[in-house]
Amino acid sequence: MTTPIPVRTPLPASLAGSTVLLLGGSSGIGLAAGTLLRRVGARVVLVGRDPERLKAAAGHVRAAAPSGEDDVLTAAGDAGDERTLDQAFERAGEVQHVYSTAGGIGGAGLLKDLTSESIRETLAQAAWRPFAIARAAAARLPPAARSPLAPASSWSGPCPACPPR
């Protein structure tokens, strides 16, 4: 029998007390990130499209480090929708960090069976979402929290919507 290796979070304790807006937080990597963030004491605002899955995710994240109800909040909607982003930032209050794992659900299936329109829509959403998030964050994050945007795609660089430091 081997002794299991202890798993420690790579997240620093300095995140304790900060508020993190987590887009795509109702499942997968986003849900795992929300759980880790809550365990180190961060206040987490989960954003996801499916209200029922979002409610279940919030319960899971709360269970990771029980405390007040305001330590895990939710906002239902698409992370690329400006109204959803406005609602999420409003619910959160002051936000120090924004993390997005939000993806789209379009474009599924065999390539030969997809229509040109469905492929265009999927690519448009994938390109738009990081910019919508960056623009919303740039207007609300305190200057010390603004940092370069590095979306999970082939593009990375300084946040075009953020004022210089």
pLDDT score recorded for residue 121: 82
**Higher per-residue confidence, 28 vs 164:** 28
Strand order in 19-23's β-sheet? 72-76, 43-48, 19-23, 97-100
Q: What is the mean pLDDT of residues 18-31?
A: 93
Quickly state the pLDDT bin for 52 (edges 50, 70, 90).
very high
Find residue 97's DSSP bridge partners: 20
Instruction: Calculate what percentage of the chain has a pLDDT beyond 70.
Output: 78
pLDDT score recorded for residue 65: 86
Is residue 45 within 8 Å of 88, Cβ to Cβ?
yes
Quickly state the pLDDT bin for 126 (edges 50, 70, 90).
confident
pLDDT score recorded for residue 157: 37
pTM: 0.77
pLDDT in tens, 108-124: 678 788 888 888 888 88
| Nearest-angstrom CA–CA distance, 11 and 36 | 8
Indicate whether 77 pLDDT > 60: yes
Indicate whether 154 pLDDT > 70: no
Among 64, 58, 87, 63, smallest CA distance to 75 is for 87
Q: What is the largest CA-CA distance in the chain?
A: 56
Identity at 82, one-letter amino acid code:
E
